[in-house]
Amino acid sequence: MQSLPSHNRHLNTSSVSPRLFRRLLIMAILGFSAIWAIDFSSGLISPFDASAYPICILAFALMYILNTVTKLNHQSLHFITYFIVAGYLTSSSMWHHSAPNGQFSNAAQWLGLNYVIAYLFLEVKKAAPTTIVVFTVTIIGHFAVLIQQQSFNDTMGVVLNIAIAHIIYIFLLWTVIRLRIKTDKAAARADVLENYAYIDLLTRILNRRGLEKVFTELNLDAEEQKQSYAILVVDIDHFKQVNDIHGHLIGDKVLSHIAAKLSRVIHPNDVLGRWGGEEFIVLTLNRTPQQVITLAENLRAGISLLKIDDIAGITISIGIAYSSEANTNSDVFTLADQRLFAAKQAGRNTIRSHD
């Protein structure tokens, strides 16, 4: 845990998770099955729907299986599922508008779902051109069907009504999506600013404020979830000499390389941060004292092998304290800091703990 968790927001992706997608597929299967059963039992089912319903149900079932057992791109499955629905709704409306299948049928009233589903299932960057294609096919298809049996004026009246209604659908949905994108972008910027507040920009690890936040969030002092932990205070030996001899730019480079090395050595669940200056903090959870000492030795040995430009022989001193030695993490830190001082007094490049 070397940085604070952030909220992942994908501004150009669908908001439908794999689990929600499966639920929607189940709802589609049940919905189509119910309508099929009702139309069949009432004797109102059309020849088109008698064939289309089972095909759609089987297609939804296949999408469910593919979403569950394969590693196919979920956006591709969303896209295919969308065209199953859009294809059925558009072709059904066109069929019902053709003679002698029930001209001016109310099947067209469902066509608005084509645009709602597009912005629900698809990425925003794909939903916009997709709705334009579906809109174009819908208008041209209905015109081609109606002109065969109606006058030009009657055909244009129906087609224009459909077109106006669908343009309103698309405009309103696009407006909602734009508002959502703006909201997501604002939230993403807030996340970035929050991240900057808790991350040390030089070393790209937690800063002092970030460490304090993580300590608070872990609630280390809570009696009901008391957990074992150790705090390691790590300090670069003679770092002032590096700045004095080589300059602060090289000193910054040394800090960055040491932070990167510490990050590679600790466990992913450990917390690493820069407390200030040349001092770093490692919080490690649920390790035995021997494991903590081993970690500290690995940190010390790893740093001693570093060569940064012409600088070699860099060493660190480490003070260690354990949760069993104090009642609060603040007291544990103070104890670790005292032991760091003892390590410095003992000649540096060494480790001090309770044993």
Catalytic positions are 278
Give CA–CA dist 298/295, Å, rounded: 5
Residues 6+ apart with CB under 8 A from 297: 351
Q: Token pair of 276, please?
A: 């200030």
CA 214 – CA 283 distance, rounded (Å): 10
Q: In whole angstroms, how far apart are CA 301 and each of 276, 298, 346, 352?
A: 22, 5, 17, 15
Residue of 315, 322, 272, 262 lying closest to 292 (CA atoms): 322
3-class SS of residue 101: coil
Helices (H), ranges, the chain = 18-42, 47-69, 74-97, 113-121, 124-146, 152-198, 208-218, 239-246, 248-265, 289-304, 329-345
Task: For residues 72 and 309, give the distance between their C-alpha atoms in angstroms, rounded to a whole number.
Answer: 47
Residue 115, both tokens: 């645009």
Residue whose structure tokens are 């304290």: 321
Q: In whole angstroms, what separates CA 127 from the centre of its chain?
A: 20
The 3-state DSSP class for residue 282 equals: strand
